[in-house]
Amino acid sequence: MTETGYRVHRTLTVRVELARQLRRRRTWIALGLVIALPLIVVAAVKLGPQQRGFGDGDLDLVGLATAGPWNFTLTMLLFSSGFLLTILAAMFLGDAVASEASWSTLRYLLAAPVPRRRLLRAKVIVGLILTLLTLLVLVVASLLIGWIAFGGSALTSPLGGTFSTADSWLRLGVVAGYIGLMLLIPAGIAFLASVLTDVPLGAVGAAVVLVIVLNIVEALEALGDLRQLLPGHYTDAWTAALVDPISWNDMAIGGAYAVVFFAIMVAAATLRFDRKDITS
């Protein structure tokens, strides 16, 4: 009988899981999409017929989009946070466990043996890293493209005032960070779905459908104050980072909600996965 040198803490490390996921085509498509978005918008502004409506100086975020790289990036974040980033976050987390089940690799990893909670840990961390990476690539690409296309003017707030360059970085950082936190909501739903089903698209789809349903419920005025209880009620609270001084209240509530919501979803996924019969 031989000693195998098995060490639990060496099973499915984050680094190995990253190596397993990074080469996937969907990872590259996701990153390509968030680079394409600012390119398409710039092309439309520069080459399209001159029509008012975008970057026309209206006193809102989209109206100021062409004011400089920070404004442009904020507009790109606004455009993508509602749908594109939500779907990508749902994809990175929703596909995490379900895709292993669909490739039949899940049973080999678990029999290796990778302890179940360790597998989930690697999946959550890598899913979040990829989501964050996508957000970062969007921000960096938009800043660069915005800078080249519209020059280097500092951030102009639709709510009045122009910030210093240092302040522009700070405000953009706060907005991007908050949008990142908000992505925990679709990510959490998707991760739970990923553990419940063996169909990767089913998990992603379930998360996206649920987020859309939440948005619809959010739009029901009849629910009044009850809407404050919904995840996603504070999705747009980052606009408070554009006033002087930053008004943290809604962002604090929204961020806290998203973190706790994500923790609950991951906890539910963990409890389910602990005892699930792996039949894929």
Partner 1 sequence: MRAFIGALVLGLFVALAPTTAAQAAQSLIIEGAATSADDPTPVLLDADLYLPQQTPAPAIVLAHGFGGSKQSVAEDAQWWADQGYAVLAYTARGFGESTGTISMNSPQFEVADAQRILDDLAGRPEVVIDSSGDPRAAVAGGSYGGALALLLAGYDDRVDAVASDITWADLESALLPQFGVGEPTPGVYKSLWTSFFFASGLGFTPGAPVTECGRFSPDWCAAYLDVATKGTVSPDVAQLMRASSPVTVADQITAPVMLGGGEADSLFPLSQTNLNAEAITSAPLKVVWHAGGHDGGVNENERLRDLTAAWFDAHLRGGPAVANTFEVSLTTGSALNSRDAGSVEVLTAQTYPGLFGDAQTDLALAGPPQQVLAPAGGEPAAITALPGAGGLGALAGDRLGVPVPGQTAAFITEPLPTGQRIIGSSRVQITVSADRPLTDAILYAALRVVGADGRQTLPQGLVSPIRIGQLGPDPVTLDVILPTIVAQAAAGERLAVTVSTTDFGFRNATEPAVYTVQAGPTVAVPSVTGAVGSVSMPAWLWPVGALVVTLLIWAAIALLRPRYHDPVSPEPVAPLAVSNLVKEFRGGLRAVNDASFDIPAGTVVGLLGPNGAGKTTTMRVAMGLIAPTSGDVRIFGEVTHPGSAVLSRVGCFVEGPGFLPHLSGRRNLDLFWRASGRTGDPQLGEVLEIAGLGSAVDRRVRTYSQGMRQRLGIAQAMLGMPDLLVLDEPMNGLDPPQIREMRDVLKAYAAAGRTVIVSSHLLSEVEQTCSHVVVMNRGTVVYSGTVEHLLAGRSGLRLEDVFLELVGEGHGVER
What's the rounded Cα separation, in Å, for the pair 198 and 175?
35
DSSP secondary structure code for residue 162 in this structure: B
Of 14, 84, 147, 250, the residue at the interface with partner 1 (CB under 8 A) is 250
For partner 1, give the closer residue by CB, 129 or 144.
Answer: 129
User: DSSP letter string over 13-32?
Assistant: -HHHHHHHHHT-HHHHHHHH
Of 31, 76, 106, 128, the residue at the interface with partner 1 (CB under 8 A) is 106
What's the rounded Cα separation, in Å, for the pair 269 and 152?
46
Count of residues in contact with partner 1, rule CB under 8 A: 87
What is the nearest approach in angstroms of partner 1 to the Cβ of residue 47? 26
Tokens 């990510």 correspond to what residue?
187
User: What sign has the CA pseudo-torsion 47, 53, 55, 57?
Assistant: positive
What is the nearest approach in angstroms of partner 1 to the Cβ of residue 79? 11
Are 97 and 195 spatial neighbours (Cβ–Cβ below 8 Å)? yes
For partner 1, give the closer residue by CB, 87 or 257.
Answer: 257
Stretch that binds partner 1, among 19-27, 43-51, 86-94, 135-143 (CB under 8 A): 19-27
Check residue 97 for interaction with partner 1 (CB under 8 A).
no
Q: One symbol per residue from 210 to 249: x for binding partner 1 (CB under 8 A), - otherwise; what is it? A: -------------xxxx---------x--xx-xxxx-xxx
Are 102 and 198 spatial neighbours (Cβ–Cβ below 8 Å)? yes
What's the rounded Cα separation, in Å, for the pair 2 and 211?
51
The tally of CA atoms less than 13 A away on the side-chain side of residue 103 is: 10
Check residue 78 for interaction with partner 1 (CB under 8 A).
yes
Q: Read off φ and ψ for residue 114, nearest 5 degrees.
A: -95, 120
For partner 1, give the closer residue by CB, 136 or 196.
Answer: 196
Q: Which amino acid is at 60?
A: D
Stretch that binds partner 1, among 23-31, 37-45, 88-96, 126-134 (CB under 8 A): 23-31
Check residue 162 for interaction with partner 1 (CB under 8 A).
yes
* Ranges within 111-150 binding partner 1 (CB under 8 A): 111-118
Check residue 253 for interaction with partner 1 (CB under 8 A).
yes
Are 226 and 247 spatial neighbours (Cβ–Cβ below 8 Å)? no
Stretch that binds partner 1, among 31-39, 46-54, 110-118, 128-136 (CB under 8 A): 110-118
Of 87, 89, 93, 109, the residue at the interface with partner 1 (CB under 8 A) is 109
CA dihedral 31, 32, 33, 38 (to 10 degrees): 100
* Ranges within 37-56 binding partner 1 (CB under 8 A): none
What is the nearest approach in angstroms of partner 1 to the Cβ of residue 253? 5
* Ranges within 179-198 binding partner 1 (CB under 8 A): 193, 196
Which two tokens mark 77? Answer: 């974040």
